Amino acid sequence: MKNNIQEVKMHQPQLVRFFNKVSAEQKINHSYIFEGLDRDDVYAFSLWIAQLVLCREKQADGSACGVCSVCRRVATLDYPDLLTIEPDGQSLKVEQIQNAKQIMMKSALEGQAKILIIRDSEKMTPSSGNRLLKFIEEPEGETYIFFLTSQAGQLLTTIKSRCQQFTFMPISKKVITADLVAKQVPQSKAEIIAEVSNSLSEAVELIADEWFNDAKSNVEKWYSYLSKRDPLAFVYVQQYLVKLAKEREQQWLIFDLLIAFIKSSAQRAEVVATEIDLVLAARQKLKSNVSFQNVCEQLVWRLMNKA
Ligand SMILES: [Zn+2]
């Protein structure tokens, strides 16, 4: 797992305060929905909640000690009464849920609580989900279920209506930039990566992504022609960008990168705003299936002829 518990806690201070309090009052619910764009972050956070439930050396403020044998084994996924399941292919299948349920119904090997964590839980089919309802409503003994998702909107309503839901705050660009710089990424590159990613793990993946690095230097070059109103900016579209970005998602990212370079340029705020508007309008056109090359060439014309 890429993100450790300490790092995630730092990024979600409000949730940490809230759950420490709940833990101090011994009011941790038996089921929760945790929603966040970064699935590894959400998973690390749910492991921290598992520590809150299981820690044998809890602090006065309710927090888990993080260092006792239980806390350590939870963090390294080496605790026998903690079970994680995730989709096998496109969905969470009935058999997976059935197996998990059977394990959960046995008594805890360590004599404490048993915890089930379901990742990507929006991929539960209705028949899988319905098998868990009784578990949520009448938890037998000390059993806990945490549903993790990046799209709570797609979770089964039967589950949603029975669990308290918490959504992670998106991590600010500043935090992502600082984190990348701490990982030895140069400041200017860190700012561009932070600008185009929604989460820390996405940002970390981009650092070494060959296609991304190639795209980044190409867009930088393209933008340097654009800002000099050099007609080479037209040629550049056909010669490089079209070949580079064949997939729709890559084409989106080209525009995101362009916006990142515009934001980092030393122009007046109004100019930056106008340019970003033009790129956003172009990005919108891609949605209506206009060809990438046409959209880019129109954009070049507009950027170079703007008032
Ligand atoms: Zn502990």
The DSSP line for the chain is: --S-HHHHHHH-HHHHHHHHHHHHTT---SEEEEE-S-HHHHHHHHHHHHHHHH-SS--TTS---S-SHHHHHHHTT--TTEEEE--BTTBB-HHHHHHHHHHHHSPPTTSS-EEEEETTGGGB-HHHHHTTHHHHHS--SSEEEEEEES-GGGS-HHHHTTSEEEEPPPPPHHHHHHHHHHTT--HHHHHHHHHH-SSHHHHHHHHT-HHHHHHHHHHHHHHHHHHTT-THHHHHIIIIIHHH--SHHHHHHHHHHHHHHHHHS---HHHHHHHHHHHHHHHHHHHTT--HHHHHHHHHHHHHH--
Which tokens sit at 263?
Answer: 């934001």
What was the pLDDT predicted at 11? Answer: 82
What was the pLDDT predicted at 138? Answer: 83
CA of 26 to the centre of ligand 1 (A): 15
CA of 51 to the centre of ligand 1 (A): 6
CA of 6 to the centre of ligand 1 (A): 13
What was the pLDDT predicted at 137? Answer: 86
CA of 16 to the centre of ligand 1 (A): 16
What was the pLDDT predicted at 134? Answer: 83
CA of 45 to the centre of ligand 1 (A): 15
CA of 49 to the centre of ligand 1 (A): 11
Residues bordering ligand 1, an ion, CB closer than 5 Å: 55, 57, 64-65, 68, 71
CA of 167 to the centre of ligand 1 (A): 25
CA of 164 to the centre of ligand 1 (A): 25
How does 90-117 read in b/e, with b if 16+ C-beta sit within 10 Å?
eebbeebbeebeeebeeebeeeebbbbb
Q: Across the chain, which distance is largest between two alpha carbons, in Å? A: 73
CA of 60 to the centre of ligand 1 (A): 12
Please tell me the distance from the alpha carbon of residue 304 to that of residue 307, in angstroms, as a whole number. 9
What was the pLDDT predicted at 3? Answer: 53
pLDDT 10s digit of each residue in the chain, 307 long? 445 788 888 888 889 999 999 999 999 999 999 999 888 889 999 999 999 999 999 998 899 999 999 999 999 999 999 999 999 888 999 999 999 999 998 888 888 899 999 999 999 999 999 889 888 888 777 899 999 999 999 999 999 999 999 998 877 888 899 989 999 999 999 999 999 988 888 899 999 899 999 999 999 999 999 999 999 999 999 999 999 999 988 999 999 999 999 998 888 889 999 999 999 999 988 888 789 999 999 999 999 987 5
Q: By C-alpha distance, which of 152, 198, 130 is closest to 34?
A: 152
CA of 64 to the centre of ligand 1 (A): 5
What was the pLDDT predicted at 2? Answer: 47
Average pLDDT, the chain: 91
CA of 20 to the centre of ligand 1 (A): 13
Residue 84 β-bridge partners: 117
